[in-house]
Structure 1
Amino acid sequence: MSPFTPQPNSLEKAISESDLAAVQTLYAGTAPAQQPAFLAKTAERAARRAQITILDWCFRAGLAVPQGETLNNELYDQACFSRSPAVFEVLAAHGWDLNAHHSEFVGDALSLAAYHGDTALAEFLLEHGGVDPNQAWGYQEHEAGVWAVVGPHRSPEFLRTMLSHGWKQADSTAHIAAAEHGDMEILRLLVEAGSAKLEATDPWWGNPTEIEADRWGTALYRAALKGQEDAVAYLLEKGADPSFKDEKGRSCAWAAREGGSQRIVEMLEEKGVKE
């Protein structure tokens, strides 16, 4: 946060009412040494409220554009919280590199959009904001692809948008999450339209030390562990390796027995996996 808070009630009122003239009057009455802090604070509040005219004026009045990568830039955070394509359009128009900013609070704009299933924001970021979907950081430790699977606003369309803009799924575990949840629409999408790595084993959840930390495994292993019969059948059909064993040497057959599905046990036995 900027350390300077100029006449908070007056400024907040002017921003909430989109009263640029009032903001300009407050700015003119600010000591020159404090004007950069005034602009920073005004821009942050304008971004959060998606007051585009005021945000644009801040840059035109001399608000500095950060150079290089930043972590926890307050203006970027407030822009993310706004979830407004118009706010990011202003930032990009004034020279912001939208790939260079990340936050411990929101991850990045694309990840936050995934959490909310906000395809409109994602489309702007990818099509006009120059955002690379392969550089996205996770909101609350989940990557964008995973949020589109397990978040409160599940969105195959969001995943299609990322795929159509060059998302390679190189380090993604979204397909593991889809298999574990038995989400066949998304699992098929990620395997067939994308480039999901069937033998990837990283956990999809945010904190692997707290959730089944010793049961990392492939999409097939996790689907077997959760008793997802259709997902197991599909993954075997697509060539997933049934001989995988976790770091403790436990097989997909072990996972199937833990998951309680005799059908999955039999499917794996047909592939020669019994132990």
Structure 2
Amino acid sequence: MQLGSVLRNFTQAPWPLLFATAGLGLALSVYNAGNVAHPTFCSSVEGLSIVTLWPTVLEAEFALNPLNRLLADWALMLVAMMPPLLAMPLMHVWRSSLPRRRLRASVGFLLGYGALWMAAGPILTVLALLLQFTVAEAALAGALLIATLWSASPWHRAALNRGHRMRRIGLFGWAADRDCLIFGMTHGGWCIASCWAWMLVPLLGGAWHIPIMLFAGAMMLTERLTPADRPRWRWPAISPRLDLYTVLIARKAARPHD
């Protein structure tokens, strides 16, 4: 598919609304940048082991940044990064619901999806702290390496494939509300499984939090737009030129010789 055709698709509903929502989340994140909590701890202290220090590090982090503040910052990250990833499931919910129930169905889906991601926030924050505590200045590079390797793995591809599956949505009553909520939670679970590594990267971005958040969001959207495929090791989305080179070589090999 040509680039122009892809960009034209982004002008059709629901893409403009989703990108506008992400833009609002990004603007709020920029406004809040001075107060965004990032894990900033030393990698080691002489005479103390990681087992001894780790509870102290956690206690200090939550003393400096209360849980409600961490969750608020995490929610802003989700609003800034996730809306474009939800185009296909939201279109499925919208088209599978009666006209008078479409808004209600979409809200139910978003509640289920958001609940799973909000629950994942503290876990990923603790993981970011552990990475920061273990490798200090190399934490961001380590997170990028983890995300790249995860994107190249067959397990990531399997999670993406499951995320492409759409769930049946009922038409009436509580059954329809339940289906939307469960679909949101199911899709959110597979989205966490596929995207957790890229969501870890901005948490370690420090002063570069906003640009890295944009970069990670672009990587996740690129991965989400790829069609389902057999789980196997592959070039990750971060290296599109290498992947294009592989495709061109494969096509050349498949072309009959004159």
TM-score range, shorter chain: under 0.3
Give the TM-score, by structure 2 length. Answer: 0.26
Higher helix fraction: Structure 1 or Structure 2?
2
Larger radius of gyration: 1
